[in-house]
Amino acid sequence: MSATIKDVAKMAGVAVSTVSYALNNSPKISEETRRKVVRAAEALNFRPSGAARNLKKRKSETIGLFLNDLGGPFYSQVIEGVQEIVASHDYNLIVCSTYGGENSSAHRFLREKFVDGAIIMGTAISDSLILQVASESFPIVVLDRELRGDYVHNVLITNEQGGYDAVAHLIKLGRRNIEFLSGPSAAFDNTQRYEGYKRALLEHDLPVPKRIAMHGRFLEAGGYQAVKLLLASKRLPDAIFAANDEMAIGAIRALHEAGLRVPEDIAIVGFDNINLAPLIRPALSTIGHSKFEVGAIATQLVFNARKEEDVIILPTQLIARQSCGFSGGVSEQDHDNLVASILHVGGRTKH
């Protein structure tokens, strides 16, 4: 058993409150007493119990970031944005996985008020749980769904417009037969990106395929398999718009294996501009958005904790690289500047 504040008090020959004050740097403790206390605490290897302090103060000074998949390449920059703001408030950040349904750590932490606020990305936490636990002392920000409720805020990106821009660009480059490589149909992001795809086709008088031919579950392997299946059908499109970059990368792999050239035979545009996108060959054209800023703004909303919902929508930006054929959009060099400008939107949009 490790030492408690009582042990320290006994050893230093003072009251527990004195120990508490001394160790929390209260100004009203004399230097001599403080030294005595510190010495005793060190001698006993005393470490205050966070659980006790949290119970007493009724807050943990930590906020939680809940993600579907801790390892995803997509999240890292979001995490950094969150981390930055959390640290600037002198708070702690814990990241944990929503994997495991009702018994996941995320569920427990949400229910048990382990954290003072939460940022949720991914669909594993139900709308109803979020609405139930959100409160003045427990604000929640959701990142990839639309959800209205007291003390629930949304940070979104212009998914529909991004999808539109991607497909309109392909059309401008002369592609006419553009397939949509879909993520999970239930995913909000996916649905919106698909709407943008449809709008671009319609506005250019192109037929919208009756049904989505390819489903890739937002995964590299999923994109690969979906394209393999498509290739077997022998009905080849001249371009593919993938609902995220990972699937686009899988698609490219499958096309290469089949001896098809990207972009000459089939052009590809992804979505998200993950770190990998410029590194693969051909470099992936995609729709970029500031993931860092999504995280940072979400975190600011947590600390603001207003009852009325805020809905922040951040812009997306076509980034044309090799995989779509002709670099008619933003050049890669310009991209850094664009990201910098995206970083300063901060507009608060109400629905």
Report if residue 25 touches DNA, rule: CB under 7 A: no
Shortest gap between Cβ of 45 and a copy of itself (angstroms)?
6
* Cα maximum dimension of the chain: 86
Cβ distance to DNA smaller for residue 54 or 177: 54
CA quadruple 328, 334, 339, 340: dihedral positive or negative? negative
Per-residue binder mask for a copy of itself (CB under 8 A), 46-85, x = binder: -xxxxxxxxx----x-x-------xxxx-xxx-xx--x--
Look at residue 95 and give the partner it binds from DNA, a copy of itself, none, a contact being a CB closer than 5 to 8 Å depending on partner kind: a copy of itself
Q: List the interface residues with DNA, window 28-47 (CB under 7 A).
A: 28-30, 32-34, 46-47
Q: Which residues contact 183 (CB under 8 A, 6 or more apart)?
A: 189, 190, 215, 216, 217, 218, 243, 244, 247
Pairing of strands 239-242, 178-182: parallel
Cβ distance to DNA smaller for residue 14 or 130: 14
Given a contact cutoff of 8 angstroms between Cβ atoms, the answer to whether 200 and 241 are in contact is no
Report if residue 232 touches DNA, rule: CB under 7 A: no
300 CB neighbour count, 10 Å cutoff: 20
Given a contact cutoff of 8 angstroms between Cβ atoms, the answer to whether 275 and 303 are in contact is no
> The tokens of 259 are what?
């001896």
Cis bond leading into 139, ω under 30°? Answer: no
Look at residue 271 and give the partner it binds from DNA, a copy of itself, none, a contact being a CB closer than 5 to 8 Å depending on partner kind: none
Shortest gap between Cβ of 2 and DNA (angstroms)?
8
Torsion-angle region of residue 244: left (phi > 0), alpha (psi -120 to 50) or beta? beta
Q: Which residues bind DNA (CB under 7 A)?
A: 1, 4-6, 13-21, 23-24, 28-30, 32-34, 46-49, 52-53, 55-58
Q: Which residues bind a copy of itself (CB under 8 A)?
A: 2, 45, 47-55, 60, 62, 70-73, 75-77, 79-80, 83, 87, 90, 92-97, 99-100, 103, 105, 108-109, 111-114, 132-133, 135, 137, 249, 253, 275-276, 279-281
